[in-house]
């Protein structure tokens, strides 16, 4: 078995992005169908996206009054909290497990048209729109090209989810719903680092295979972005470990928030599915 842990230290390559002016650092990944961009987002972009994502997840329509009370009480009991980043695990009402047992200790939501604009303060709107545009540009554009209905909303051909894992949260091996989503999966990592593991579970059709190991791991650092394409999307499971070992150190066990983007299948509209 070849894993990223056994591979030589990740080498950082430099590559320029077609839609953004900045230069991206691409970490050499163990599989040609997985691209990982280290430091895809600046510290300011990460903090704005994290703050806005938490506001969406904490909005009254997503939370119960008991949950909001719990948060208020935690803030009162922790006056040293600077209002940035995550609160402690106990301040949130976590879902214990997904209906299909694929995920534990999490909060998630589908981000719909117009939602980002509602949570951004006036002076944050332009920065948020710019950071989100950078995120959307990681997926191939729609065919034919379409205009997003507002500056920050996901373009109509993309489905966007937020996924917040508690310190004990984890995602077990799964293949994303093949009937609900297209063939490219993008993940933006905010907050705590985690390890993602891929394992091959079926054989790609002849001619579509890309050489690569049948099992490997990658480190998902804060501010990084990954793009998984075929054959990983269909023929490999992926999982996000609660804790793991990476180059001799323990990684995980802290809260992480991912912004997930998938392309819509042209025939069937997507639905909420992890």
Ligand X SMILES: O=C(O)CCC(=O)C(=O)O
- Using CB under 6 A as the criterion, which residues of the chain lie in contact with ligand X when the complex forms? 163, 171, 176, 187, 238, 240, 258, 260, 274
Nearer to ligand X, 30 or 187 (CB): 187
* Neighbour tally for 179: CB within 10 Å: 10
| 108 touching Fe ion, by CB under 5 A | no
Segment interacting with Fe ion, rule: CB under 5 A, options 9-17, 136-144, 169-177, 227-235: 169-177
Size of the site for Fe ion (CB under 5 A): 1
Task: Kindly identify the residues of this chain, within the stretch 219-238, that bind Fe ion according to CB under 5 A.
Answer: none
Nearer to Fe ion, 51 or 161 (CB): 161
Nearer to Fe ion, 157 or 262 (CB): 262
Of these partners, Fe ion, ligand X, none, which one is at the site of residue 240 (CB under 5 to 8 Å by kind)?
ligand X
Segment interacting with Fe ion, rule: CB under 5 A, options 55-63, 93-101, 152-160, 168-176: 168-176
Of these partners, Fe ion, ligand X, none, which one is at the site of residue 260 (CB under 5 to 8 Å by kind)?
ligand X
Nearest-CA neighbor of 210 among 34, 4, 27? 34
| 176 touching Fe ion, by CB under 5 A | yes
Of these partners, Fe ion, ligand X, none, which one is at the site of residue 52 (CB under 5 to 8 Å by kind)?
none
Nearer to ligand X, 57 or 171 (CB): 171
Nearer to ligand X, 58 or 193 (CB): 193
Minimum CB separation of residue 9 from Fe ion in Å reads 27
Segment interacting with Fe ion, rule: CB under 5 A, options 89-97, 175-183, 188-196, 241-249: 175-183
Half-sphere exposure of 150 toward its Cβ, with a 13 Å CA cutoff? 12
| Cβ atoms of residues 37 and 16 within 8 Å | no
Of these partners, Fe ion, ligand X, none, which one is at the site of residue 252 (CB under 5 to 8 Å by kind)?
none
* Neighbour tally for 265: CB within 10 Å: 17
Nearer to ligand X, 176 or 263 (CB): 176
Minimum CB separation of residue 51 from Fe ion in Å reads 24
**How do beta strands 34-38 and 95-97 pair?**
unpaired
Rounded to whole angstroms, how far apart are CA atoms 59 and 54? 8
Minimum CB separation of residue 55 from ligand X in Å reads 19
How many angstroms from the chain centroid is the CA of residue 224?
A: 9
Of these partners, ligand X, Fe ion, none, which one is at the site of residue 261 (CB under 5 to 8 Å by kind)?
none
Segment interacting with Fe ion, rule: CB under 5 A, options 84-92, 170-178, 205-213, 225-233: 170-178
Which positions lie near Fe ion, rule CB under 5 A?
176
């Amino acid at each position: 078995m070849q894993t990223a842990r056994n591979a030589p230290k990740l080498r950082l390559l430099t590559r320029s992005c077609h839609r953004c002016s900045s230069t991206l650092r691409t970490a050499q990944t163990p599989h040609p169908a997985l691209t990982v961009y280290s430091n895809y987002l600046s510290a300011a972009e990460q903090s704005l996206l994290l703050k806005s994502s938490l506001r969406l997840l904490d909005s009254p329509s997503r939370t119960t009054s008991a949950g909001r009370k719990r948060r208020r009480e935690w803030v009162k009991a922790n006056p040293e909290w600077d209002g940035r980043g995550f609160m402690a695990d106990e301040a949130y009402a976590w879902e214990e497990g997904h209906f299909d047992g694929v995920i534990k200790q999490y909060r998630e939501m589908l981000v719909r048209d117009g939602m980002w604009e509602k949570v951004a303060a006036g002076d944050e709107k332009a920065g948020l729109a710019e950071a989100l545009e950078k995120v959307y540009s990681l997926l191939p554009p729609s065919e034919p090209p379409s205009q997003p209905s507002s500056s920050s909303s996901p373009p109509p051909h993309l489905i966007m989810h937020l996924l917040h894992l508690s310190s004990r949260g984890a995602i077990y091996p799964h293949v994303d719903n093949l009937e609900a989503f297209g063939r490219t999966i993008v993940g933006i990592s905010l907050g705590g680092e985690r390890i993602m593991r891929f394992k091959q579970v079926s054989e790609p059709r002849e001619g579509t295979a890309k050489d690569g190991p049948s099992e490997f791991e990658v480190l998902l650092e804060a501010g990084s972005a990954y793009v998984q394409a075929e054959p990983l999307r269909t023929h490999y499971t992926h999982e996000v470990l609660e804790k793991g070992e990476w180059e001799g150190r323990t990684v995980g066990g802290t809260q992480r928030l991912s912004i997930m983007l998938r392309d819509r299948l042209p025939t069937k509209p997507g639905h909420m599915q992890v």
